[in-house]
Chain A
Amino acid sequence: MALKLKRRSLLQMIAASATAAAGASARLGRALAADDAAAMGWPSDVPSWDPNQRFAPDAQPIFKALFDQPLDQDPQLKLVPHLIKNWNLAQDGLTMEVELRDDVLFHNGDKLTAEDFRYTFFERTKGAVKLDTANSWQKVQDIVIESPTRATMKFSAPHPTAPQWMAFLGSYVVPKAYLERVGVEAFRQKPIGTGPYRLAEYELNSRIVLERNDRYWGEKPRLARVTVQIIKDPSARVAAIQSGQVDCTVNVPVREVMRFAKEPGFAAELNPITRVILLQVRNDLAFADQNVRLAAHHAIDKDALSKAFYGGAAVSLSVVATPGTPGYLPDFQFKYDPELAKQYLAKSNYGPDKPVKIGFAATNGQFPSDYDIARALVQMWKKVGIDASLEVIEYAKYFELNRGARLPEATLYSWDNASGDPEIFAGYLLNPKMPFSAWKGMDVGDKLLPLFNLADYDKRMQGYRELNRFAVETGASIPLLQSVLTLVRKNNLAYTKYANGWVLPQSMHWS
């Protein structure tokens, strides 16, 4: 009898648990299946809800849901008006006139004016709170307000990329009155922007709940509620989309994209974006010899790398710029030619029988397939007579090693540039005065640094194209591939695809 009772109790417990679990599952399903809601599985959290504070490329789509930038980029990355209706950068690059929209409200109902613009790009950047935008807007000497919708930015030196930076990292307009009233800490707790969504709930490293801003000045989002689940582990993101706990996710392994592409109900994409994978090279040690650098470059079969690690979707690059951006050179090809690589090495008395030894560093897990690419490169180099000793480094270690001139001859690196502007590609990556460049030779620096002050857009672009070619032909730069954004979504969840990889909640809708 006792046994029977126990069995019955057990069965009751199982039934109760199953019912409860089914209920929970159904509730979850209802929440996500609603026509006006969606959940995204996102790989990282925002560093802070003060959008001016930290530059975080992965956080930009979330910031763009809450806040607006003065200018925006269309899906092909062309600058388009946004909070600013018109702008005019002076020929000398020392001033920029802007005209703001007059129909923009912050989430608390305050109207956006030129005061907010001045506060964001001048007063805050010179204030006590440390902001990353203080660096990008350090040339701003003043912003003269001419009317509630008109202002003129004055720069201490030519700022040719001011319009590009108006649509780039951290340049989001924040409310002056609210921030001054509540202070920066309270603002971070309860951020207010002018964007298409407002922040309904936030839990650090867990989730961000966005609710539609019904008073948005622009096109209203189709989804009333978007939940961003922070899921840092790629396998967990795969499981989350597979099980229906999220409707869309990014940065999943390439092999999973291939698998999802065959599964009904899902759409899986490998989207080339404005992110480059390259080798940052030194101009000394064994790489002081240009023949060795050029041999190392000619020995790399980039198409094979793309096929092996990115399903062929990653475009092979010959310059440090992605196709479609102004610094790209569509007619310039740096060919894969192992025989030519051997000839270069032979000129310096090296070859497969007498290999030149180099050091090579790579991250493991910083971007998809990074370590696998590094191992493949070691094998490609070995065939022509370059013996590379591979070491794994943390991304954070790169700066310290570079600062102390302790990086090896080559380092596998990835660089994101949502703006597409060549200044933020070659201008940063090869600039000997910046912490990213392993190349310290002033041959490149002398060509590059004047471009930072060149206001004429066409001349500046021409300058960067020439620089890109020069850097590759002299072996100062070894670009490899245009990186891809992996994305899996339910196939009835549509979104607008941007060339820089933005997946904007406001562009999503169920079809």
Chain B
Amino acid sequence: MLPTVLSLLGRRLIAAIPILLLVSALLFCVLRVLPVDPAAMSLPPSATIAEIEAQRREMGLDRPLALQYLIWLQRALHGEFGRSIHYRRDAGALVAETLPATLELALTAMAIAGTLGLCGGLFLFRLRGTPFETLGDLSSMLLLSIPEFLWGLILLFLFGVVLPLLPFTGRLSPSFMRPNITGFLLLDTLLVWRPDMFWDALTHMALPAVALGLAFSPMIMRVLRSSLFDVYVEDFIAQARLRGISEMRILLAHALKNAALPTLTLAGVQFGFLFGGTLLVEIIYSYPGLGNLMVDAVRNADLPIIQTAGLAYCVAVLLINTAVDSLYLVLNPKLRER
């Protein structure tokens, strides 16, 4: 199994190179043709037009676009992604500083979405043929139509304002000093063995993670139910029934295992969307992740950050999809044989 997985990883790595080159070139070109002036944004208000023109030349904005891209690419290959216009810091370092928070949030949200999707899918399937089937169907459709930012606002209002049970700004209460080891706060609080701080961080993450999880679970729910429908017409289900196996056992031990594979593929794709969905949720919950940085960068026409963060999103999605595909190989013996 391992050689198959390694072979897949190798193929994915090779395929990732042109994808990243293409994405970086697209990002670069789109950002450069936007009608914003990074030179003016990078200078103080008292700068004159002549000083702005000098700054444009210094930033290389007067050179041909292709040349600008090649220079950027050469530097990027050496780990230099440019200097943030707004923060005047290395864009790569800024993205690296904020990425763990977003990854932590996205992974937690994905766990919530997966759990809800799994439980919801099984529940919806169990409702088949009952008077509640249509109601379940409609409910899942309703959930599907609510985007993550709306969940964010609803949960904030309900559990932050009306019933002030959970905090909804930042990652930690003012009474705690944040340990900074890996950037993954939940992990860091455990590494310094502060269960109280771990709990506090968890309560801060609860609302944004649930908002994201709720938004992305209905699709998993519906695909799982649909896969279960397909699986239930297979012969092995009928044989299992003939062997006298209980319906619950057939569902959990036999059907679910087979229906999980398409659901897993979907979850991989969903993670890409979920990762992108953190952008608005991070703003609503003042969550200091990559999305928050990205919104600021757009506001300030901070092209190096937009470029680097865009690439970081691309890399994260490629990695997750590769991980899902590897998992798929592990779970599906038929694919390993091919």
Contact = CB atoms under 8 A, between A and B. Distances in A.
Contacts of B286: 205-206, 229-233, 236
Given A41-B169, A243-B164, A245-B167, A55 B44 contact: yes
Contact of B43 (A18, A135, A169, A203): A135
Nearest to A42: B286
A505 to B, nearest CB: 13
A136 interface: yes
A397 interface: yes
B86 A31 contact: no
B168 A239 contact: yes
A243 B160 contact: yes
A397 B36 contact: yes
Chain A CB count within 10 A is highest, among B97, B170, B293, B295, for B170
Contact of B168 (A130, A169, A236, A396): A236
Contact of B87 (A47, A244, A403, A433): A47
Interface in A184-236: 188, 200-201, 203-207, 209, 225, 227, 229-233, 235-236
Interface stretch (A19-27, A70-78, A333-341): A19-27
Chain B CB count within 10 A is highest, among A30, A207, A242, for A207
Nearest to A395: B299
B27 interface: no
Given A21-B166, A243-B161, A396-B37, A205 B285 contact: no
Contact of A20 (B46, B156, B199, B301): B199
Contacts of B94: 204
Interface in B123-173: 153, 156-157, 160-161, 164-173
B178 interface: yes
Contacts of A27: 173, 175, 200
A239 B166 CA distance: 12
A44 to B, nearest CB: 8
B230 interface: no
A206 B46 CA distance: 30
Contacts of A54: 44, 86-88
B315 interface: no
Contacts of A136: 44, 46
Nearest to B36: A396
A388 interface: no
Given A243-B164, A244-B164, A434-B49, A207 B170 contact: yes
Interface residues of B, number: 57
Contact of B41 (A53, A170, A188, A399): A399
Instruction: Describe B's contact surface by its main secondary structure.
Output: loop
Contacts of A229: 169-170, 174, 286
B52 interface: yes
A37 interface: yes
Contact of B169 (A132, A169, A236, A400): A236
Nearest to A23: B199
A87 interface: no
Given A207-B170, A230-B286, A396 B44 contact: no
Interface residues of A, number: 65
B207 to A, nearest CB: 11
A55 B45 contact: yes
Nearest to B43: A135
B168 A240 contact: yes
B288 A400 contact: no
Contacts of B51: 135
Contacts of A495: none
A202 B178 CA distance: 9
B253 interface: no
B165 A21 contact: yes
Contacts of A18: 165
Interface string A328-361: 0000000000000000000000000000000000
Chain B CB count within 10 A is highest, among A18, A32, A230, A245, for A245
B86 A47 contact: yes
B35 A397 contact: yes
A436 interface: yes
A399 B296 CA distance: 18
A30 B174 CA distance: 10
Given A232-B286, A233-B284, A205 B98 contact: yes
Contacts of A434: 46-49
A239 B175 contact: no
Interface string A28-55: 1011100001010100010110000111
A401 interface: yes
Given A21-B165, A27-B200, A135-B47, 14 more contacts: A25-B165, A31-B175, A41-B169, A53-B88, A201-B177, A205-B286, A209-B177, A227-B174, A233-B283, A236-B283, A240-B168, A399-B37, A428-B46, A434-B46
27 contacts: A22-B165, A24-B200, A28-B167, A32-B174, A39-B174, A47-B88, A48-B87, A48-B88, A48-B89, A130-B88, A132-B43, A169-B45, A170-B44, A201-B177, A205-B288, A205-B292, A206-B171, A207-B170, A231-B169, A245-B160, A396-B300, A397-B36, A399-B37, A399-B52, A400-B36, A403-B52, A435-B47
